[in-house]
Chains A and B, each alone.
Chain A
Amino acid sequence: MPEPLLPEFFALLAVDLFLLLSLLSCLLDERLPKAIPYIYQIAALIGFGHLLVSKTFFTQFDEYMRFWYNFFYLLVALGNVIAVNLYLAVEKKLWTLAKAWSGAVTFPMIVISVFFLSNYSYLQGAEFPMLILQIGFVLSVIVMGVSISIFLSPDILNKLRRRKEVNQWK
């Protein structure tokens, strides 16, 4: 029988998210402030501290409380992913990079978090709005369809771009 998810799983997910952000921001160090990778490493360390606190006070803290402080930490991590996305798009005007970031980091991370949250709430017997899952499913199908079509015929992007330019000249 599979082990049910503990609320601390959200903290673990958030720690990994901060570490990913740290490494990616190190790779993009010309476009982001120099201190950002180290700040994210410290944020990940705080998450590790979170897990240690949960472990120490496992019997004293009830599940409701543990869920909320772990879930809040995950929200902070997701907020940072979106903030970096917005920083690249709005502040730096790096549209291509911002689009790539949203497709490769922001969107998958949000979908993964929603998936685990829905799984956790289902196992806890809590009702989770099905609409969010349906929207997530539709978006995933669209992204997957576009990705497959681009993978199979890479020229499609150039064709679309050319058509756009022609329309602009008209």
Chain B
Amino acid sequence: MEIRKILSRKEMKLVTLLLTSLLIATASAYTYISLTMTSTVQVYAADVVFWVGADNGTKGLVVTFNSANTTATLTGLRAYPNATFTYTDPVRVKNKGGTTAQLRLSPDVNPSANPDDFEYVKFLLNATTSGDRKWLNYTSDGSIWTSPSGPTSWTTTGILGSASWPIVVYTKARPAGVAGQTVTITIKVDVD
């Protein structure tokens, strides 16, 4: 009887309501804050970068890099009619980090110009172990270019820390290829 009297008192009701109010208000505010939480993403210097190869400055090749060595532009690559021309070390992919990084070559902008002048342009990620080597082949039948299709063509491979692999370029023009004709291809090196 006494307990019921105490519980029905106004002060008791108010304290109970105050406590439940605090609980609901805190839980609601916490839920709202969790909705507004933001993530901070920091830019880090890339561990895997492009590096100059031994072929730079030879066979007409000029390789230029951006300041962070994350893009490389190869100009002056040659293709001769009916002959495979090889650049064995035009540019390298280097892992500056201490741990293994997963990387792959993948297409970015596919060739479309002058298919009647070229037979193929092939890129080989020349890993130290032959089983890790990856190809990206762009071939022309004389009328259209055929580019690598599907992710199976560009699976990842692991490069050890401090290792560097050359990207070998093979070119071949068609027997009737006209001198001075050009084609532009953009490829990417994706790093996981």
Contacts and interface: CB of A to CB of B under 8 A. Distances in A.
Contact of B25 (A16, A29, A52): A16
B14 A8 contact: no
A26 B32 contact: no
Interface string A3-23: 100101101100110010011
Given A15-B25, A45-B24, A26 B35 contact: no
A55 interface: yes
Given A8-B35, A27-B14, A58-B35, A22 B28 contact: no
Given A6-B36, A15-B25, A41-B20, A26 B14 contact: yes
Given A23-B17, A26-B14, A29-B10, A41 B24 contact: yes
Contact of B27 (A11, A22, A48): A48
A16 B35 CA distance: 18
A52 B25 CA distance: 13
A41 B35 contact: no
Contacts of B20: 41
A15 B28 contact: yes
Contacts, number: 59
B13 interface: yes
Interface in B155-178: none
Interface string A39-65: 001001101100110110010000000
Nearest to A47: B28
B24 A44 contact: yes
A22 B24 CA distance: 12
Interface in B13-48: 13-14, 17-18, 20-21, 24-25, 27-29, 31-32, 34-36, 38
A26 B24 CA distance: 17
Contacts of B32: 6, 8-9, 12, 51
A48 B10 contact: no
30 contacts: A3-B36, A3-B38, A6-B32, A6-B36, A9-B32, A12-B28, A15-B24, A16-B25, A19-B24, A19-B25, A23-B14, A23-B17, A23-B18, A26-B10, A26-B14, A26-B17, A37-B17, A41-B20, A44-B21, A44-B24, A44-B25, A47-B28, A48-B28, A48-B31, A51-B28, A51-B31, A51-B32, A51-B35, A54-B35, A55-B31
A-B CB proximity, top 4 nearest: A19-B21, A51-B31, A15-B28, A12-B32
